[in-house]
Amino acid sequence: MRRRVVVTGLGAVTPAGNDVPTLWENLLAGRSGIGPITQFDPSDLEVRIAAEVKGFDPVALFGRKEARRNDRFTLFAMEATRQAVEDANLSFGNGEFREDVGVLIGTGIGGAHTFLHNYDILKERGPRRVSPMMIPMMMPNAASAAVAMQYGLRGPNVCLASACATGAHAIGEAAKIIQRGDAEVMICGGSEAVVHPIAIAAFKNMGALSTRNDEPERACRPFDAERDGFVLGEGAGIVILESLEHALARGARIYCELIGYGASADAFHITAPEESGEGAALAMRRALADAGLPPEAVDYINAHGTSTPLNDRIETHAIRTVFGDHADRLAVSSTKSMVGHLMGAAGAVEAIACVKSLETGWVHPTINYENPDPECDLDYVPNEPRRLEPRVALSNSFGFGGHNGCLIFQRWEEAT
């Protein structure tokens, strides 16, 4: 029998709140975290909106030295980890190392701000002024490394990058590490900070971004017939996973159980989802098989739901392919409608939304759903939260490159 894995801690830094209670309150209220870009002057850009993290002061949180020695994506991860460790009532540090605690924090891009800032320095001031800290700050694995050093954790320490599926893959792979006995506790999730002119320009030129500059809060509208692209966001989501035995032995509060994880590839196109949705469907089927559940057991799906014309239509088709007639009884909602697309952090923050739904019995809405699309014909929990009391929740994450990751969580019931 494989070891059971449970969720005992949550932490988040997002455009809709810099901690989980605030995030969840805003999600249930349908409050958007999307607005005009404030980190730089976007007037030369065709897209001038984003889902920015607000009121985040790394100097106040970590001190001036740490704030200067870490990229924004690492600082997001460090703060979300601090919250999750505290939420789980875990005690690390004190000069002792823990070999049974690992870290798996992914990112889609890594330290983009550090890289681009130092490139500007190179061009303007010459090579001798480039920071010697540039490489360790921009490395995708910087967040995993920083967390391990902060808490003295010598368990498995890994970073993965699978674009928009990163957060889900990080949580799923961390669960597998626990199941095979290589760790008792895993700190896992994703972090991203790429709200920068070059990223906005690139995504816009790709045709991926919404251009609703005059209506930022209404710009991200997953599954709506007038959707025109996603809104770039930033932030971090961190989940504490534990073996059930470890959690029970220390008397931990258990949110829910992670019972299924499935991954697949479209093997089709570097940015576009495969038209039939078979890659996404395969990941969902694999998650169900891993959980040992029939499709009818799922009550709620937190969709990838990007608000792009292709993704939302193909994800809807994939859900119908997997769930058949049961698809009409599913509640489906998109967290991105309020927080934008957090790229490598998206799957982790959306997993947190699933966990909170199982804990509270509420499902957050998909906001800005006003004009039904005949090709997107599921119950997207439009505009208002719903009391659902779900027992099983599925979280979908699909990334550029055709990477697919699905997680299944089940409401916690103490083992008899």
Q: Which residues are identified as catalytic? A: 164, 304, 341
For residue 338, what are the contacts with CB-CB under 8 A and spacing of at least 6?
A: 15, 16, 26, 27, 30, 31, 32, 33, 34, 220, 364, 367
Rounded Cα gap, residues 366 and 338, in angstroms: 8
Q: Return the residue matching tokens 């970590």.
A: 62
Would you call 399 helix, strand, or coil by DSSP?
strand
| DSSP bridge pairs for 300 | 331, 393
SS3 44: coil
Question: What 3-state DSSP class applies to 93?
Answer: strand
Q: Is 259 left (phi over 0), alpha (psi -120 to 50) or beta?
A: alpha
Beta-bridge mates of residue 102:
186
Residue 208 phi, psi (nearest 5): -95, -20
- Residue of 14, 36, 415 lying closest to 212 (CA atoms): 36
Closest CA to 103 of 139, 149, 40: 149
User: What is the C-alpha separation between 33 and 371, in angstroms, rounded?
Assistant: 22
How many Å is the maximal CA-CA distance in the chain?
A: 67
Residue type, 214: D
Tokens of 144: 């995993």
* Token code pair at residue 248: 């029970």
What's the one-letter identity of residue 78?
M
Specify the DSSP class assigned to residue 165. G
Choose among 203, 60, 194, 80: nearest CA to 140: 194
Single out the residue of 231, 28, 4, 193 nearest to residue 113, CA to CA. Answer: 193
The backbone torsions φ and ψ at residue 32, rounded to the nearest 5 degrees and listed phi first, read -85, 140
Radius of gyration of the chain from its Cα atoms, rounded to whole angstroms? 20
